[in-house]
Structure formats: C-alpha cells, structure tokens
Structure 1
Amino acid sequence: MEVHLDFVIDCKLLRVWIQEWQRADDPPEEISLITRFYPKFAVEQIDRLLGRRAHQYWDRGWLLFCPACLDEGCGGVTADISRADGKVYWSGIGWDDSLTPDTYRIEDAVDFVFDEEDYERVMLEARKWAGAPANAELMSSNERGRLEEEWPPARSENEWLLFYLGGLNVTQIARLCGINDEAVRHSIRQREALDPTISARRLILHDRPRRGEPRKVGRDRDWDRWYAAAFRFIAQHGRFPRQLGGPAEKGMQRWLYRQRLKLGAGELDQRQVRLLDALGEWR
C-alpha cells in the first residue's frame, strides 16, 4: 500500500485547512511526496522544505501534489517559506502549476508559524522514515554498480522527449530512466523553449489522448489562472461553481458567466472555447 504522510498543523490536516478556507464539500485530493514508495522524491521534498535544496518553480515551496502523477504541471498547493527570529513561516498558501508563475492565492488562508527547532526535528524524522528503505543514497557503491550494469540509466534526451510526448511527466520519466528529475525537467524546458509546438503534440491529462494548441507568447495568463481554478473546482466537486458558494466559488461562477458573454460577442479564441468545452455544459 502506498502511504503518503500528511502535514498536520494544530491537530488538523493541511488538506482540511484548505477545505475550510475554500468552503469546499471535501478536502482536496492532492498529497505530499513524503512516502516510502518513492524515497528519493520524499527526501528531495523535505530538503526543499528545509531550505537545503532549491524549490522546483517560482521560488515557492510545494506542499501537495497531484495524486495521479505527482507532477507540478498538474498543479498543487504551494507556500512562501521563510525564516526569521527562530521561526519558520508558511505564508501566501495557494495553488500553482509549472506553466505560469501566477499563483491562485487561497483568499481565506492563514499563515502558519512554526518553532524552527521543532520544524527541523519533525522534518528530519520524516526524512529518516521515508529515506530508510531501499534508498539509493544508502546503497553501497558495489550495489549501485550492479544495478547500473543490469539496467544502466537512459541518458538520451531524445528518449526523454519521446516519453514526454507520450504523456509521461518528468517524475515518471526520471524514475523509468534512472535519471535525476532535475536533469529531465531542465532538458524538457529547454526543448519547449526551442519548439513551442511540443505542448500541442503532447498527450496530456494523465495520458488521456487529448491535445491542445501550441502555447502562445503573451497569452492571457489571468484567463489561464481562472480556468485552472474552475477546472480544479469542477474536477473536485463534480459540479460547476454556484453563486451561493463561498467567495472563491462565487468568483469562479462570475468568471464563467463572463465567458458566456464573451462567447456570444465572439471575443474568445478557439483555444479558450475548446478548453471551456472540456469542462462540460458551460454555455
């Protein structure tokens, strides 16, 4: 069984805090990377939360990830992490993805303050728990050598790109190829910068054969942010946002109403219409 540790703050799960802030029916499904199933990724997340390793994107600490693929591209819960006067602060908690630096801040989220010594003690205990079994860092050089002889790492960046175009995310590619995920992520980002059509040719949404258009330089990031929020809400609740919901839900309901007006006025491009149609009966 794949067990992931949860963040518990003041005797309450972080996911329950988020549920209450967003006035949602259920907690979000996102999970931490702290699991014995993937000790390497667990250790990397903890080291980032401790400030020992650079954050993945936008200089924000990633707390919770997509449970299906554990990849930042699907979005996750992040926070600004800082230290001062013997304290560790998690502030500005919100939703992010790897495509745009714009954070969808959770309106009613509070900042969490931890005693620095207690914070480090708990994180290091979790690191020891997750990294203990079959951790590559604990293998002897002979054991590592035998593994590499039996199945050497796949270092071809062209192979990584083929995996990516087939729908695998960076974490999955790194695991399959025996390569550090940062190397794969850097390679893919370079390829996408040189060839904007990669995002259009890739199978996305957890390997389902759905294609989008190439990313456009200067596209409406604010629109993308609102769409991502609406997409997450509908996927989580199985319904469209309502006017009678909380502030965040009302905002998404008003945004969708404006999109219907824009559709009638011919102000939406083909990409936006196709993405909105993927939500269901929004018109």
Structure 2
Amino acid sequence: MDEATHTEWVRTLNVLSVVPAQVSYEGRTTPIEFHDFVIDGRLLRERLQVPADFSAIEQETTALRRDWPHAAVEQIDRLCLTEPGDFVDGRVAILACPVCGDIDCGAVSATISVEESTVTWEEFGWQDGYTDDPPQPWLFEPQCFTFDKTAYLALMHQLREQFAELVPPLEEEEKQNRRPLLAWLRRSKPRA
C-alpha cells in the first residue's frame, strides 16, 4: 500500500473515545453519572438515528459507571470480545437500562467484529434478554463504525484498569451482597 492510499485508508477509520456524562431518569432525584461513547467527536446516542417516538435511547447508559465497576469491566471485556456477547446471538449491549443495567429491560446492541487491524461496530438494534426475538434493527438507520484496533484496545485497556481499581475485594463484596438479604431475613422472622 503506497503512502497516499494508506493515508486515505486511515482517514476513513472512526475515532472512539469516552466522556463523562449524565442522564436524568424519571423518579430519581440525582442524575446518573457514567462514561458515554463518543465517535468522531459526537456522542454515540446522537449518531444513532432513531424515530422520534423511540426516546428510550436518550436515557440508556453504558455500564461504564463508578457505582458499577464489575459491570464496567464485564462490558469492556465484551467490547473486546474476550468474553462472549450479552445475547445468545453474540451481540454486545452498548447502552442499557440506567437503573439496573439489566439487558432484560432492553438494550441497544451491536455486532462487533475484530479483524487484524480494525474493530467494527455495526448492525445496531434494540433487543432484550428475556425473549428469543431477534434485534430490531429497523429502529436505527444502518450505521457501521470501524476503529483502528491498536487505538481501540489501548482505550479499552485504560478503561478496564480504571474500573478494575474500583472493584471491591471479593470478601468485602460478598459481605455487601449478604447484608441486604440478612436484613430482609431478620425483618421477615415471625414475632413472638
């Protein structure tokens, strides 16, 4: 490949980054803070063109949240295809429910492919985890984003390190997970 062809090829690649963001969600007094995906200087949610009556995407978030460090690490691993996708068909959830992050509530998903020098996000659709229904790509204008693999993996590695540092030690996390259950069990004991 000559230099002019290489330069033209490089210019056609998209640039992925993340920025701190917030969304307001009905019933919550404080906005939800997360890191949002930016492609070529525009928020992904702005680039995903959807019908006006499909406003759910405006409130969806990535799992890249300080209050969800485990989920953030898992999402990064799926975005790098080092872990299987979120859905049976291998697709990866990009944006999900801001309250629980559960794909059963519905999520914006995409097909991700990794080649020798690129990573591609394409075939965006809306799907959920509780039905076998295929994604609904008709909600989105067809779009395809191709990133330089080296830059993509460097960003993902940096994000993974950042969120892995926030994951509590296993013992502490297990204690935190048991507390609500134990409190519930204590409350539900019959009184004499």
Shorter-chain TM band:
0.5 to 0.7
Q: Give the alignment of 1:161-200 within 5 angstroms.
A: none
Q: Deviations over 1:198-252 (max 9, x none)?
A: xxxxxxxxxxxxxxxxxxxxxxxxxxxxxxxxxxxxxxxxxxxxxxxxxxxxxxx
Matched residue SS, 1:6: strand
Pick the structure with more strand per residue.
Answer: 2
Deviation of 1:55 (Å): 1.4
Q: CA deviation at 1:109?
A: 2.7
Q: Give the length in aligned residue pairs.
A: 146
CA contact (8 A) 1:31 1:65 kept: yes
1:4 pairs with one of 17, 34, 40: 34
Structure 2: runs of 5 or more not aligned: 1-29, 182-192
- 2:27 maps to which residue? none
Q: Using a 3 Å threshold, how does the CA distance of structure 1 residues 29 and 109 change in structure 2: closer, same or farther?
A: farther
1:53 deviates by 0.9
Task: For 2:42 and 2:126, locate their aligned partners in 1 and report how far apart those are by CA, in whole Å.
Answer: 19
Identity of paired residues, percent?
A: 32
Rate the CA distance shift 1:147–1:22 in 2: closer, same or farther, 3 A.
closer
Asked if 1:113 corresponds to 2:146, the answer is yes
From 24, 30, 37, give the equivalent of 2:60: 30
CA distance 1:13–1:146, shift in 2 (3 Å): closer
Which residue does 1:74 correspond to in 2? Answer: 105
Q: Which has the higher contact order (CA 8 A, sep 6+)?
A: 2
Larger Rg: 1
- Note the C-alpha offset of 1:107: 4.2
TM-score (norm 2): 0.67
CA drift at 1:176: 6.0
- Which residue of structure 2 aligns with residue 197 of structure 1? none
Deviation >6 Å, runs of 4+? none
Q: 2:155 aligns with which of 122, 126, 139?
A: 122
Aligned to 2:117: 86
Cα deviation for residue 48 of structure 1 reads 0.7
Offset, 1:100: 2.2
Contact 1:95–1:104 (Cα < 8 Å) also in 2: yes
RMSD: 2.5
With structure 1 as the length reference, what TM-score do the two structures score? 0.47
Pairing partner for 1:60 from 87, 91, 99: 91
1:16 matched residue in structure 2: 46
In structure 2, distance between residues paired with 1:51 and 1:90: 12
Can you list the C-alpha shifts for 1:51-73, whole angstroms capped at 9, x where unaligned? 11111212101100011221111
Which amino acid is the alignment partner of residue 61 of structure 2?
I
Which position in structure 2 is the counterpart of 1:132?
Answer: 165
Answering whether residue 72 of structure 2 is matched by residue 42 of structure 1, we say yes
For 1:164-192, what per-residue CA distance to the aligned partner results, in whole angstroms no more than 9, with x for missing partners?
xxxxxxxxxxx967xxxxxxxxxxxxxxx
- Distance apart, 1:145 and its partner CA: 4.5
Kindly indicate whether residue 136 of structure 2 is the aligned counterpart of residue 104 of structure 1. yes
**Conserved in 2, the CA contact under 8 Å of 1:8 and 1:14?**
yes
Greater helix share, 1 or 2? 1
1:153 Cα shift?
A: 6.1
Distance 1:96 1:54 in 2: 16
CA separation of 1:52/1:16 partners in 2, compared to 1, >3 Å: closer, same or farther? same
